[in-house]
Structure 1
Amino acid sequence: MDLQQMRYVVAVAETRNFTRAAELCSVVQSSLSHRIAGLERELGVKLFSRSSRRVELTSAGAAFVAGARESLAAADRAVADAAAATGVVRGRLAVGVIVTAAAVDVPELLQRYRARYPDVRVFLRSGRSDEMAAAIRSGDLDIAFLGLPEGERPSGVETIALDHDRHALVVPTGHRLAGAPRVTLREIAEETFVDFVAGTPARAQSDQAFTDAGLVRDVAYEVGVVELMTRLIVRGLGIALMPSAFVRPLAAGDPDLALVPVVDGPRRVEYLAWSRFNPSPATQAMLGVLGVRSPE
């Protein structure tokens, strides 16, 4: 067994297709299939169930892939550590970003990082703050930009607060509240709302604010994409509470949207989070670009 065989198996597991896996690994399909078949003979188990249309992991294959991923990650880390000892940073950096990130201009940050560390391959992933914090703890992400309600912090990871922000009310320009100097939660509680999916940290920020105020509201549309949220608002289907630092540039470029300050609205803290256990050279390099000193 060798690392290349492991890479082939993981590629097939991820693509569920031998042809696409071979393309991903830059090898002819016959060679990839031959190496995997040889590995199956060596192990004495079938890793994949194959048909003319489908490829699925067997239970033995699923167990093997989990260990193979760990082995490949360890091998990649060994190569990166060896390079770092000579002053060269290379390897892989997995970055998580919430869709409403505003404290850091992520593309500009990656541009600076690329200029200094061109040998690092960066993988970006967006999602929920709680899931991305868990991904850091499990090793699936190296670093992430998160947003949580004020008073909450990600657990099990190193963090620094990047920004504290208030939510603003987002309404269509023809709405009765457009142009108001400010509003309270009680004044908008009877409105129809567009918001993020229930159970997510992004949604919890608004839910908690209304609960603390003893108010109940109607969320008629649950959305996971900001662009769709704003389109629903423009159509007059609802209003929304969104982080002001994020939504202000959107409203400035869209004459159909208006922002109104909310006196007692939700507050959010944006965090930078990374693994507290042995961060990789690529992670330490990113922290350096951000001006953050990783704890020893």
Structure 2
Amino acid sequence: MKLRQLRFVKSVAETGSFSKAAEQCCATQPTLSNAIAQLEEELGGRLFDRTTRKVELTAFGNHILGRIEEVLLAEQEVLQTAKTYHDPSHKLLRIGFSPLVDMGLLNHILQPFCHKYQDIELFFKECLLDDLSERLRGDVIDIAIIPSSMLSEEYEHVSFYEDPLFYIARDGTDLTKPGGILKLTDLPSDPVIMTGGGCGLNGSLDHLFKNEGAALTPYRGQAISYQVIEEWADLGIGSGILPQAKISQSRSNAYPLTLRDGTDASFEFCWIWPKELGMRPHIADFIDYIQTTVPSLIAGSDGILPMRAPRSF
């Protein structure tokens, strides 16, 4: 197995075309096709269904694509770690976050910082909560964003934002109430579809329901993504509860949730960083920024400037 083969697979998955992927990867189409065929033989299954009109991932391909992406991201991480070692003056800010985090909002609030500190290179890393902790301890990332219900005394923290929660009814059931909202304590008894748990969704929901004295009945199976939660809810398998940022924009039958006191049910997200951080100047500048400037950006009081696109690793 070679990294180039993995890059070919990722490119085909993204473009939906062998020819476009070959162009993107600066390879001939026969070279790309042969490399993918060799990888499929090694892995023991077809990665793509290919017709004259379109190219789609097979169920096996969809299952394994995430692992392929992780390997390619790890490659970039190794390269950047080496670059920082050989060039200590290189200013790198590595931000890790749970998959629950609103990437649109994160981009939004980083714009003024990137405009002011154009010599700082940003890297994003999306990973599960346990992985985030290991990366913080190992100095692989500098700062992370997690649900506040997952906070630990091991880290310094400051609040970031709150994301309101919405209920997706099983099989599209109409639950319209006066005002169009639902209380957490008044939900149907349908099981709630969860993920594997590592992203923070399950733990945050459990924490919220316990605080409200409400019963949470998880569905016995586990969805691989937030999109699958929506799909399963539409199929009548169970209901779903997701933060607004993770609900498909096209969905119209998601109901805002409230607590007993009438306030919005929501997940709070926080920035965390190690207490013993050797406060490199540019990281200290960023921590000062998220403590002093970001709250006003969240409140919508400041303008937003053009931003250089951060890279993922």
**Into which bin does the TM-score normalised by the smaller protein fall?**
0.5 to 0.7
Question: Percentage identity across aligned positions?
Answer: 12
Distance 1:103 1:164 in 2: 13
Question: What is the aligned partner in structure 2 of residue 229 from structure 1?
Answer: 229
Distance 2:281 2:272 in 1: 16
Cα distance change, pair 99–178 in 1 and its aligned pair in 2 (3 A): farther
Distance 2:128 2:4 in 1: 33
Question: What is the aligned partner in structure 1 of residue 169 from structure 2?
Answer: 171
> Are 2:257 and 1:261 aligned?
yes
Distance 1:272 1:209 in 2: 20
Q: Following superposition of structure 1 onto structure 2, how do residues 1-296 of structure 1 map, counting pairs within 5 Å?
A: 72=82, 75-76=85-86, 79-80=88-89, 90-102=90-102, 105-149=105-149, 153-164=151-162, 167-171=165-169, 174-179=172-177, 181-185=180-184, 187-188=186-187, 190-198=189-197, 201-210=200-209, 213=213, 215=215, 217-244=217-244, 246-247=245-246, 250=247, 253-264=249-260, 268-276=267-275, 277-292=277-292
Question: What is the aligned partner in structure 1 of residue 26 from structure 2?
Answer: none
Number of aligned pairs? 215
Letter in 1 for 2:232: L
Residue 128 (structure 1) shift: 2.6
SS state of the match for residue 148, structure 2? strand
Residue 93 (structure 1) shift: 1.8
The question of whether the paired residues in 1 share the 8 Å contact of 2:95 and 2:144 is answered with: yes
CA RMSD of aligned residues (A): 3.8
Question: What is the aligned partner in structure 2 of residue 41 from structure 1?
Answer: none
In our comparison, the structure showing a higher alpha carbon Rg is: 1
Residue 106 (structure 1) shift: 1.5
Cα distance change, pair 98–198 in 1 and its aligned pair in 2 (3 A): closer
Residue 141 (structure 1) shift: 0.8
> Can you list the C-alpha shifts for 1:11-64, whole angstroms capped at 9, x where unaligned?
xxxxx86989xxxxxxxxxxxxxxxxxxxxxxxxxxxxxxxx9xxxxxxxxxxx
> Which structure 2 segments of 5+ residues have no match?
6-41, 43-77, 294-313
Residue 160 (structure 1) shift: 0.5
Tell me the TM-score normalized by structure 1: 0.57
Distance 1:202 1:242 in 2: 8
With 165-174 and 271-280 compared, the bigger mean Cα shift is at: 165-174
> Which structure 1 segments of 5+ residues have no match?
1-15, 21-52, 54-67, 81-89
Residue 222 (structure 1) shift: 1.9
Distance 1:127 1:291 in 2: 24
> Can you list the C-alpha shifts for 1:212-260, whole angstroms capped at 9, x where unaligned?
637351414423422332333344433212235x35xx46x32443223
Tell me the TM-score normalized by structure 2: 0.54
Cα distance change, pair 104–258 in 1 and its aligned pair in 2 (3 A): closer
Cα distance change, pair 121–130 in 1 and its aligned pair in 2 (3 A): same
Residue 199 (structure 1) shift: 5.8
Distance 2:134 2:280 in 1: 17
Cα distance change, pair 221–118 in 1 and its aligned pair in 2 (3 A): farther
The question of whether the paired residues in 1 share the 8 Å contact of 2:182 and 2:255 is answered with: no
Residue 270 (structure 1) shift: 0.9
The question of whether the paired residues in 2 share the 8 Å contact of 1:193 and 1:221 is answered with: no
